[in-house]
DNA sequence: AAACATGATGGAATCGTTTCCATGAACACG
DNA sequence: CGTGTTCATGGAAACGATTCCATCATGTTT
């Protein structure tokens, strides 16, 4: 219990060399074969593990990577986090997780904490816009955005799902089924998607059918129920995330709208329960895990390079929640 | 870009005091009112934020708390993590997240990394048993187990849901509906639950009806499908987690077993989609978020005290997946 | 008034690592 | 044989905070 950790000094002493030599051997510097062998042997025998504390202080950064997501409870961000963790584990780096609740202020607070911890690399699903991120980027924090990018920060590499194509596919599918009054049920930070939605819909666009919820379940349900009640003439809805989709299913059921007879539904993000639902939900699948993995990859090889972002494909998975427009 | 962080030395210089005084003021030590005021003023003016790196090295621990869960993708652990994050945020501590995949070896690897990072406190859903944890506990790592405890480590405080009561309630409910052949579909680390299951079932227990899956979705599905095919005479099943429940619903559907007519189902852990399912699933709700929060609380006030663990209540939420035993 | 208690204060040591620099040996080349 | 080059090596200086300890001033008690 009272045994101090074995330090590099202990190893040096036991091996009969200086601490500098031990450090060199352990971090791949130059050393004569016999010294290297001896040091390595002693190190394993003493079960020496270099303390990250000392190293971090010396080189002014804590190695680890920060991960900022709106809500770890959301299946999508859970998978994204899993991808980041997988990549970080392969690189032997720890991951510091923080949630922002899609709130710019809370996000700033979390960034502050990461900075305080000496974290030099962060993967973030940004909540705030350029004003929030500009100062922190200037501190030299290597940043990669995931899932969405911050307005006015096209210089920050971002790993995104191909929303543009996803929305187009969904809209095409729905219009192809005869739908004309198509709603979009959106969440925070989906401005770009909505822009594509408007563009894809062309003359059919109806601003009243575009509603936004905040991050919470309650807010999503309120938005969905309000939409359905206010505009009973709509025949199809595109939900911008699994939380929104869940709310839409719930609200539709509450209002006795039959899916897909009265209402066709497409949900962004494929989740396991989409298949369990009745009817099973037609979705736009997003490679959440890959997004996380790739983002972590990018942030880890910070080698001065400014890599352009990555765009990952989405996929329309047709199940049973879309049908032809009901004929009045 | 090339501006060094402001250090405590800068503040001391600007305020015309020694670094010791600055440190004292900032960490609540004694100082004269006027000095305190001056130092505080200078600190805010210079936007000084103490570097965790220096502090950590000095006091040989990194403050933050480690969190080890089997799978962050699983809704239950997502909520648990959320609880830990909420508590940690309130305390201003960072959280280092690692996943174990319910694998003892991987768990040991993650513990090693935490130790290397100087993390002195960890909340864990243990995968390994006494042999794995004993050595790490001896290193002085303050540990609190969450959701389940490790065999042979009753001395480690644990925050658990009241499985015993949950299983009893579920079994009573099912037997009350007339069921006699009741299966348990279990996951990793559910030995204790199964013991209670056996006990509650008494003479009705049938070992063939107790099957285990590993952590993955595939494994869960295989276990469920195997069980249903091998023993078509069972009339009720208790799934030991949302992943198992999902698998059971899927397998039942695949085999054309109607729920609840042919098969009654109860699932451990209430998840949003349980209500969306058809029929909606009857569940034993567990306060996952609270478990995380309470565990973090315990691990944070490590004040030498050895608090006994905490047992949080579960709740039977009756929906539509259980019915009277089918009469042959 | 002398002795003593109290409290604020700053210098310096400390934590464990990396890295700069000087030293000395070995070796090659003219 | 002398000079220059390469290479392994260890001492010591960072890194930025906390904290021990000595110092000095002030106030209190006899």
Neighbour order of strands in the sheet with A282-285: A210-212, A182-186, A236-239, A264-268, A282-285, A315-317
- Where residue B139 falls among pLDDT bands split at 50, 70, 90? confident
pLDDT for A101: 96
How remote is the C-alpha of B326 from its chain's centroid?
37
Point out the least confidently predicted range of A7-16, A76-85, A128-137, A297-306: A297-306
A97 vs B96: CB contact, 8 Å cut-off? yes
Between CA A98 and C1' C14 the distance (Å) reads 32
> Is 50 exceeded by the pLDDT of residue A1?
no
What are the Cα distances from residue A225, in Å, to A174, A219, B150?
21, 10, 46
Between CA B172 and C1' C16 the distance (Å) reads 59
> Is 60 exceeded by the pLDDT of residue B123?
yes
pLDDT for A3: 64
Closest CA relative to residue B277, chosen from B321, B240, B220, B244 = B321
Residue linked to tokens 């285990």: B212
Which residues have C-beta within 8 Å of that of residue A172, sequence separation ≥ 6?
A200
Q: What percent of chain A stands above pLDDT 90? A: 84
Catalogue the E-assigned strands of B87-186.
Answer: 95-99, 121-124, 142-146, 158-161, 182-186
A146-163 pLDDT per residue, tens:
999 987 777 889 999 999
Mean pLDDT of the residues in chain B: 93
Point out the least confidently predicted range of A126-130, B49-53, B175-179: A126-130
Beta bridge partners, B317, equal: B283
Q: What is the mean pLDDT of residues A24-31?
A: 87
Neighbour order of strands in the sheet with B95-99: A310-312, A158-161, A142-146, A121-124, A65-69, A95-99, B95-99, B65-69, B121-124, B142-146, B158-161, B310-312
Query: For residue A278, which residues of chain B lie inside 8 Å, CB to CB?
Result: 277-278
- Where residue A325 falls among pLDDT bands split at 50, 70, 90? confident
Three-state DSSP at A328 gives coil
pLDDT for A197: 97
Q: What is the mean pLDDT of residues A61-71?
A: 94
Q: What is the CATH number of domain B8-50?
A: 1.10.260.40
pLDDT for B151: 79
Comparison of pLDDT for B140 and A255, the residue scoring more: A255
> Is 50 exceeded by the pLDDT of residue B1?
no
B233-267 pLDDT per residue, tens:
999 999 999 999 999 999 999 999 999 999 999 99
Query: For residue B97, which residues of chain A lie inside 8 Å, CB to CB?
Result: 67, 81, 85, 95-97
By CA distance, what is A275's nearest residue in B?
A: B250
> Does strand C come within 7 Å of the CB of B62?
no
A112 vs B49: CB contact, 8 Å cut-off? yes
Which residues have C-beta within 8 Å of that of residue B18, sequence separation ≥ 6?
B12
> Is 60 exceeded by the pLDDT of residue B304?
no
Which residues have C-beta within 8 Å of that of residue B20, sequence separation ≥ 6?
none
What whole-number distance in Å separates Cα of residue A89 and Cα of residue A36? 27
> Is 60 exceeded by the pLDDT of residue A304?
no
- The nearest CA of chain B is from the CA of A82 a distance in Å of 6
> Is 50 exceeded by the pLDDT of residue B277?
yes
Structure tokens at B255: 């085999």
Q: Give the mutation candidate from A50, A71, A73, A83 for the B interface (greatest B CB count, under 10 A).
A: A73
* Contact indicator for B267, B170 with CB cutoff of 8 Å: no
Please tell me the class of the A65-161+289-313 domain. alpha beta
Beta bridge partners, A145, equal: A124, A158
- Where residue A135 falls among pLDDT bands split at 50, 70, 90? confident
Residue linked to tokens 């004003």: A131
> Is 60 exceeded by the pLDDT of residue A319?
yes
What whole-number distance in Å separates Cα of residue A106 and Cα of residue A129? 13
Mean pLDDT of the residues in chain A: 93
* Contact indicator for B268, B245 with CB cutoff of 8 Å: yes
B114 vs A95: CB contact, 8 Å cut-off? no
* Contact indicator for B245, B239 with CB cutoff of 8 Å: yes
pLDDT for B303: 61
DSSP state of B326: P
Q: What is the mean pLDDT of residues A267-277?
A: 96
Three-state DSSP at B143 gives strand
What whole-number distance in Å separates Cα of residue B27 and Cα of residue B224? 56
Structure tokens at B147: 């959701």
Residues 103-122 of A with CB under 8 A from B: 112-118
* Phi, psi for B137 (deg, rounded to 5): -65, -35
pLDDT for B308: 79
What whole-number distance in Å separates Cα of residue A68 and Cα of residue A65? 10
CATH 3.40.50.2300 domain span(s) along chain A: 65-161+289-313, 163-285
| Highest-pLDDT range among A123-137, B39-53, B124-138, B295-309 | B39-53
Structure tokens at A273: 């329960």
Between CA B132 and C1' C14 the distance (Å) reads 34
- Where residue A39 falls among pLDDT bands split at 50, 70, 90? very high
CATH 3.40.50.2300 fits B163-286, yes or no: yes
Query: Which CATH code of 1.20.80.10, 3.40.50.2300, 3.40.1160.10, 1.10.287.70 fits the domain covering A163-285?
Result: 3.40.50.2300
Beta bridge partners, B311, equal: B160
Provide the 10 A C-beta neighbour count for residue A8: 17
B49 vs A115: CB contact, 8 Å cut-off? yes
Comparison of pLDDT for B182 and B303, the residue scoring more: B182
A202-251 pLDDT per residue, tens:
999 999 999 999 989 999 999 999 999 999 999 999 999 999 999 999 99
CATH 3.40.50.2300 fits B65-161+289-314, yes or no: yes
Nucleotide nearest to B34 (CA to C1'): C8
> Does strand C come within 7 Å of the CB of A23?
yes
* Contact indicator for A54, A85 with CB cutoff of 8 Å: no
Structure tokens at A271: 């989740």
Q: Mark the nucleotides of strand D covered by protein, meaning any atom under 7 Å from a CB.
A: 7-12, 14-20
CATH 3.40.50.2300 domain span(s) along chain B: 65-161+289-314, 163-286
> Does strand D come within 7 Å of the CB of B97?
no
Closest CA relative to residue A205, chosen from A240, A175, A166 = A175
B144-154 pLDDT per residue, tens:
999 999 877 77
pLDDT for B327: 65
Quickly list DSSP for A241-288: SHHHHHHHHHHHHHTT--TTTT-EEEEES--HHHHHBSSPPEEEE--H
B96 vs A94: CB contact, 8 Å cut-off? yes
> Is 70 exceeded by the pLDDT of residue A193?
yes
CATH 1.10.260.40 domain span(s) along chain A: 8-50
Count, residues in chain B: 328
The answer, for B314 touching chain A at a CB cutoff of 8 Å, is: no
The answer, for B81 touching chain A at a CB cutoff of 8 Å, is: yes
Residues 43-62 of A with CB under 8 A from B: 49-54, 56-57, 60, 62
> Cis omega (within 30 of 0) on the bond before A229?
no
> Does strand C come within 7 Å of the CB of B24?
yes
């Amino acid at each position: 219990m009272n045994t101090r950790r074995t330090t590099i000094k202990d190893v040096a002493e036991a091996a009969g060399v200086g601490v500098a030599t031990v450090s060199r051997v352990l971090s791949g510097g130059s050393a004569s074969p016999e010294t290297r062998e001896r040091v390595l042997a002693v190190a394993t025998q003493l079960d020496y593990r270099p303390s990250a504390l000392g190293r971090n202080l010396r080189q002014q950064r804590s190695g680890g990577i920060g991960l900022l997501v709106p809500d770890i409870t959301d299946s999508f961000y859970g998978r994204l986090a899993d991808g980041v963790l997988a990549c970080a584990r392969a690189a032997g780096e720890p991951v510091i997780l923080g949630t922002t609740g899609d709130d710019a202020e809370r996000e700033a607070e979390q960034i502050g904490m990461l900075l305080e911890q000496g974290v030099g690399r962060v993967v973030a699903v940004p909540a705030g816009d350029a004003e929030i991120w500009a100062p922190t980027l200037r501190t030299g924090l290597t940043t990669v955005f995931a899932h969405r990018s911050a307005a006015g920060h096209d210089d920050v590499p971002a790993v995104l799902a191909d929303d543009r194509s996803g929305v187009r596919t969904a809209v095409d599918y729905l219009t192809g089924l005869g739908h004309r009054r198509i709603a979009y049920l959106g969440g925070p930070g989906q401005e770009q998607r909505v822009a594509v939605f408007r563009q894809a819909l062309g003359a059919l666009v109806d601003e009243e059918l575009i509603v936004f919820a905040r991050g919470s379940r309650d807010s999503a349900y309120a938005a969905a129920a309000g939409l359905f009640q206010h505009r009973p003439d709509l025949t199809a809805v595109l939900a911008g995330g699994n939380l929104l989709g869940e709310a839409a299913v719930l609200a539709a059921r509450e209002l006795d709208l039959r899916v897909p007879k009265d209402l066709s539904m497409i949900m962004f993000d494929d989740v396991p329960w989409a298949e369990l639902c009745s009817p099973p939900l037609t979705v736009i699948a997003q490679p959440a895990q890959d997004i996380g993995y790739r983002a972590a990859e990018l942030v880890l090889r910070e080698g001065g390079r400014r890599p352009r972002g990555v765009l990952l494909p989405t996929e329309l998975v047709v199940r049973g929640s879309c049908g032809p427009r009901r004929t009045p």
